[in-house]
Amino acid sequence: MIRHRLLAAFAVATASTLLVSGCGRAESPGQTGGAAAGLSDGPATGTVTIWAQGTEGEALQDFVKPFEEANPDVQVEVTAVPWDSAQNKYQTAIAGGTTPDIGMLGSDWMPGFRSALTPVPESIDTSDVFPFALESTEFDGASYAVPWYVETRVIFYRTDLLKEAGFDDFPTDWAGLKDLAKAYQDETGAEFGISLPSGGWNAFLSNLPFAWSNGAEVINEDQTEWTLDSPQMVESLSYLNSFFEEGLADKSPDTESGSASADLVSGDVPMFLSGPWDIPGLELAGGEGFEDKFGVATIPAGPDGTSTSFAAGSNLGVFKDAENPDAAWKLIQWLSQPDVQAQWFETVNDLPAQQAAWDDEALTADPRVAVFGEQLQSVKIAPTLVSWTQVSAAADTQIEQVFRGGKSVEDALAELQSTADSLGTGQ
């Protein structure tokens, strides 16, 4: 047996030497998904393997018990995977052909992974899923995963210091936000008015809500041309840059996870942009009594646009190498039911991808969650192109040069545009 496999390994090795001499890229990618398979009738059977990261992975095994009870012949095997290097783990598993049936895939991984996934069967109803979340799963007219949970970015701020700064309500436009940052600094003794990423990994992406709220776009509608140096983009980056230039934001903030929330708790920096995980995060960092001292608000709109934030989340996809795709899709179908999604929110605080789940009491009870719900009505996702991660990294470098290195916004965006053009928009 072993010897047989050894031979196979050597065969692959020799084949790869030949690779150098005789092969070539086909004209078209040729990655036709094939017709989406239908699901069998009746309950799920057999063993379903699923990998899920972090907290989700730890909680999921107990959570699927009702599914196992409803389908007595099925056994769900959850493997909790660390977030750290999770993408590498999936990638290697794809290369080695050792993927589980279901993977929990970050919405931004989809462009890289879709060639290893099977299309979603038509019998799975995704009509009520947030449209932006579906968008992250769609390639060439087919959908390759089912959105599980979503997240978006809003502004976290100190409600108690807001009064002290002389504001009754959180501002809804750019001028108001800047006034508030100044007032926090002048009236409440804050070191900086707001915390904004000035560089490093995903700094550009984290600042995109301001660009989108000003009507700027990263790429055109059908994702064929980058639009990174538009006047609206220039205007939004100049606006952000003024925070750094006027000393309202730290040019080299500590990017370590938890440091922004620590600064909000201490009052040193009473505003930052973050996602839903920072509600429990701040309650933990602030200790008892702090839960009444912070609030969340939607992104203030720019002169040329309306409040629009960045959204992402995780999708559930079934791999081509899956051994039990039928039961796998049935499990995904179960996890997508609105009531199950609401329950999942209560378990791990993940915001449901199914809009109907948002009517559940679990979600309507907390006014802060409602703000996230409101923001989710107006969000955009990152481009679903393989080249996006590279464009994004180039953008991080450029804005760092603007915010910290004093480069002009126009020059930086012009350079970024030409870099992006050379990287292209191909799948």
Which residue's CB is nearer to other proteins, number 264 or number 376? 264
Tokens 């926090």 found at? 184
Contacts of 2 (CB under 8 A, 6+ apart): none
Options 161-169, 177-185, 195-203, 219-227: segment touching other proteins (CB under 8 A) = 195-203
- Ranges within 112-131 binding other proteins (CB under 8 A): 112, 115-116
The answer to whether 92 contacts other proteins (rule: CB under 8 A) is: yes
The CA–CA distances, whole Å, from 300 to 304, 324, 402 equal: 12, 47, 22
393 contacts other proteins (rule: CB under 8 A): yes
* Shortest distance (Å) from residue 400 CB to other proteins: 6
Q: Which stretch binds other proteins (CB under 8 A): 164-172, 213-221, 328-336, 397-405?
A: 397-405
Calpha distance 352→340 (Å, rounded): 9
Least distance to other proteins, CB of residue 303, Å: 31
Within residues 398-417, the interface with other proteins by CB under 8 A covers 400-401, 404-405
Choose which of 36, 37, 59, 80 interacts with other proteins (CB under 8 A): 80
- Provide the mask over 360-389, with x wherever binding to other proteins is found by CB under 8 A and - wherever it is not: --------------------------xx-x
Of 20 and 365, nearer to other proteins (C-beta) is 20
Choose between 86 and 340: whose C-beta lies nearer to other proteins: 86
Task: Indicate whether 2 belongs to the interface with other proteins (CB under 8 A).
Answer: yes
142: left (phi over 0), alpha (psi -120 to 50) or beta: beta
Kindly state whether residue 89 participates in binding other proteins, applying the rule CB under 8 A.
yes
Can you tell me which of 35, 70, 95, 175 binds other proteins, judged by CB under 8 A?
Answer: 95
Nearer to other proteins by C-beta: 118 or 308? Answer: 118
Residue 37 burial (C-beta neighbours within 10 Å; 0-12, 13-18, 19+): middle
Part in contact with other proteins (CB under 8 A); list of ranges 39-47, 127-135, 196-204, 205-213 = 196-204
Q: Applying CB under 8 A, which of residues 254, 339, 346, 359 lies at the interface with other proteins? A: 254
Number of Cβ within 10 Å of residue 316's Cβ equals 25
> Which residues, 271 to 290, sit near other proteins by CB under 8 A?
274-275, 277-278, 281, 284-287
Residue 55 beta carbon to other proteins: minimum distance, rounded to whole angstroms: 7
Residue 267 binding other proteins, by CB under 8 A: no
Asked if 427 is part of the footprint of other proteins (rule: CB under 8 A), the reply reads: yes
Q: Binding to other proteins (CB under 8 A): which residues in 5-44?
A: 5-6, 8-10, 12-13, 15-17, 19-21, 23-26, 29-31
- The answer to the question of residue 96 lying near other proteins (CB under 8 A) is yes
